[in-house]
Amino acid sequence: MLAVAVLAAGKGTRMKSDLPKVLQPLAGATLVERVLASCQRLNPSRQLLVVGHQAERVQTSLAARPELEYVLQQPQNGTGHAVQQLLEPLAGFEGELLVLNGDVPLLREQTLEHLLERHRSSGAAVTLLSARLADPTGYGRVIADEAGQVSAIVEHRDCTADQKAINLINAGIYCFDWARLAQVLPQLSSDNDQGELYLTDTVALLGSAIHLEVADADEINGINDRLQLCQCEAVLQQRLREHWMREGVTFVDPASCSLSDGTRFGRDVIVEPQCHFRGNNLISDGCRIGPGSLLEEVQLGKGVEVLFSVVRGAQVADGCAIGPYSQLRPGTRLEADCRVGNFVEIKNSHLDHGCKVNHLSYIGDADLGQGVNVGAGTITANYDGLRKHRTLIGSGSKTGANSTLVAPLNLGAGVTVAAGSVITRDVAAGALALGRARQVVKENWPGPV
Ligand code: UD1
Ligand code: MG
């Protein structure tokens, strides 16, 4: 049996933030979500989260995971004190306890599987993850012999000058034999520089500890301040971009682009510089994105082009072209081969096959039939100050430049709206609608004096 405990009660003083540290976002997911995700393949029978600082906020953020058991640590008197809080909920539990620091979010699932296997085959009381770092500053140092037996962990601030030179560090990830850990937990003392109970002191107390060195030291990056947050973001982004490049996506300038875990690409997609993908996106084969675009919760069909544009909450079918300088807002659905051009905003609207909205328009709460040609500067006036209303435009219709369509409004198929019109009444199929003052010309006008 395996139980997992994630330590997430600390304040994260060094972040200088109102947000509890484990709720800081990293590539679109919080630190604690990432830590929890890293152990799911192990199929733990219990998942406990030690919470304390802003406990409610942490719990609310994880409301979608009813399998989590929360253990309150109040006050927060160190990582050893945090694990002492498990003595009651895990009373009688038999098996291993995997302890994960809530601020170590880049662990790979395979690494934890490896840790568990190593622990089970060695028979040690605890197996901990370690790494060799060029700069070990801030981490606990692992005092170990050549066979990998660990005699103690000494926190950076408690190290002697000689110990500070050790570059083998404690990652904060441990696999304990729970029964043996439970026996030594009550013996922890706060006789250290911070006056806290250190989980790391159990290593010496247990007298039977080994370490497993990770091959990729990036995995065990702990986040204590914004600099480390940014370093971890860079590692994650690089992992995501490398993955997608191997899957057949071209990044022209990868370092200038950011991805989310939930973004999926087809083959032969080209991502130009300065493009950002957030949330869940599907970018199908042959799309060309950017330069300079933001996409969030979008589905793009094959061969879609997006240039210098913001696309959010939209579905765009095959062969559409967006931009430059378009904004597609939530609820926008474009069928195949539509064109949306510069300085056009579309919201909560459906455009059927082959529509063109090429210049300076606002289309909100509208349904356009096939092949509608929206003239430059056409606006759907969808809001009367109290409520939103819909505009329907039949297939093959054409609006002239600078028309205002005052909703609720229904234009039939093949309607022509004259340039500069304000249309307030429904128009039957095939008609021409004009709604503007007739031009007046005064001959021989004296002009300005
Ligand atoms: C800890 C380790 C250190 C290791 C490093 C790896 C100890 C004493 N030291 O140091 O050896 O190199 O992680 O990143 O464990 N927490 C609680 N309750 C508390 C205190 C902390 O739940 O009372 C949680 C924090 O929310 C955090 C985790 O434990 O997620 C680690 O705490 P932190 O203060 O960051 O420990 P480090 O100084 O990084
Ligand atoms: Mg830390």
**Minimum-distance ligand to the CA of 48?**
1
Residue of 6, 81, 101, 154 best suited for mutating to test ligand 1, as the one with most atoms within 8 Å of CB: 101
CA torsion 50-52-58-64 (nearest 10°) is 40
Residue of 13, 79, 169, 225 best suited for mutating to test ligand 1, as the one with most atoms within 8 Å of CB: 79
404 and 292: one domain? yes
Residue from 11, 37, 40 nearest 23 by CA: 11
Decide whether any atom of ligand 1 lies within 6 Å of the 232 Cβ.
Answer: no
273 and 326: one domain? yes
Residue 259 dihedral angles phi and psi, to the nearest 5°: -125, 165
Residue 380's CATH number: 2.160.10.10
Decide whether any atom of ligand 1 lies within 6 Å of the 277 Cβ.
Answer: no
261 and 218: one domain? no
Ligand 1: centre distance to CA 101 (Å):
6
Decide whether any atom of ligand 1 lies within 6 Å of the 200 Cβ.
Answer: yes
Average pLDDT (415-425) is 98
Average pLDDT (80-88) is 98
54 and 176: one domain? yes
DSSP-based three-state secondary structure for 161:
helix
State CA 141 to chain mean position distance: 33
State CA 57 to chain mean position distance: 18
**220/214 Cα distance (integer angstroms):** 8
In a domain, 233, yes or no: no
Of 168, 192, 226, the last residue of a domain is 226
In a domain, 38, yes or no: yes
Whole-angstrom CA distances from 19 to 8, 31, 54, 106, 295 are 12, 12, 8, 20, 26
Average pLDDT (351-375) is 98
In a domain, 232, yes or no: no
DSSP-based three-state secondary structure for 39:
coil
Into how many domains does the chain fold? Answer: 2
Decide whether any atom of ligand 1 lies within 6 Å of the 58 Cβ.
Answer: no
What is the pLDDT, as a whole number, of residue 447?
A: 86
**What beta strand segments (E) does 178-309 contain?**
209-213, 249-251, 263-265, 269-271, 275-278, 281-283, 288-289, 293-296, 299-300, 305-306
In a domain, 440, yes or no: no
162 and 80: one domain? yes
Residue-wise pLDDT tens digits, 97-142: 999 999 999 999 999 999 999 999 999 999 999 999 999 999 999 9
**Minimum-distance ligand to the CA of 173?**
1
164 and 285: one domain? no
**88/93 Cα distance (integer angstroms):** 10
In a domain, 234, yes or no: no
In a domain, 314, yes or no: yes
Tell me what percent of the chain is helix, strand and coil, each rounded to the nearest 5.
Answer: 20, 35, 45
Residue-wise pLDDT tens digits, 193-240: 999 999 999 999 999 999 999 999 999 999 999 999 999 999 999 999
The residue nearest atom 29 of ligand 1, judged by CA position, is 7
Catalytic residue of the set 156, 353, 359, 389: 359
Ligand 1: centre distance to CA 448 (Å):
79
Residue 210's CATH number: 3.90.550.10
Ligand 1: centre distance to CA 443 (Å):
86
340 and 414: one domain? yes
Average pLDDT (16-38) is 96
Decide whether any atom of ligand 1 lies within 6 Å of the 79 Cβ.
Answer: yes
What is the pLDDT, as a whole number, of residue 449?
A: 74
**Which residues constitute the domain of residue 296?**
249-433
For residue 412, the one-letter residue type is G
274 and 221: one domain? no
In a domain, 242, yes or no: no
Instruction: List, in order, residues 6 or more apart from 72 with CB less than 8 Å away.
Output: 50, 51, 52, 55, 85
Of 211, 226, 241, the last residue of a domain is 226
CA torsion 24-29-35-36 (nearest 10°) is 130
272 and 134: one domain? no
pLDDT band at 448 (very low <50, low <70, confident <90, very high): confident
In a domain, 7, yes or no: yes
First-to-last alpha carbon distance for the chain, in angstroms, is 96
**300/306 Cα distance (integer angstroms):** 10
Conformational region of residue 161, where left means phi above 0, alpha means psi within -120 to 50, and beta covers everything else: alpha
Tokens describing residue 171: 């990652």
372 and 426: one domain? yes
Cis peptide before 75 (omega within 30 of 0): yes
Whole-angstrom CA distances from 242 to 25, 251, 289, 297, 327 are 21, 10, 17, 22, 29
Residues 308, 292 contacting (CB under 8 angstroms) = yes
Ligand 1: centre distance to CA 183 (Å):
21
170 and 294: one domain? no
Residue 359 annotated in active site: yes
Decide whether any atom of ligand 1 lies within 6 Å of the 198 Cβ.
Answer: yes
Of 193, 226, 259, the last residue of a domain is 226
Decide whether any atom of ligand 1 lies within 6 Å of the 296 Cβ.
Answer: no
The residue nearest atom 16 of ligand 1, judged by CA position, is 10
- Identify the sign of the CA torsion 146, 148, 152, 157: positive
For residue 122, the one-letter residue type is S
105 and 152: one domain? yes
Average pLDDT (30-41) is 97
DSSP 325: S
Tokens describing residue 265: 């690409």
In the predicted model, is pLDDT for residue 181 greater than 90? Answer: yes
Average pLDDT (275-304) is 98
- Identify the sign of the CA torsion 45, 140, 222, 132: negative
What is the pLDDT, as a whole number, of residue 186?
A: 98
In the predicted model, is pLDDT for residue 335 greater than 80? Answer: yes
**206/17 Cα distance (integer angstroms):** 36
Decide whether any atom of ligand 1 lies within 6 Å of the 202 Cβ.
Answer: no
Q: How many of the other CB atoms lie within 10 Å of CB of 122? A: 16
pTM: 0.90
What is the pLDDT, as a whole number, of residue 374?
A: 98
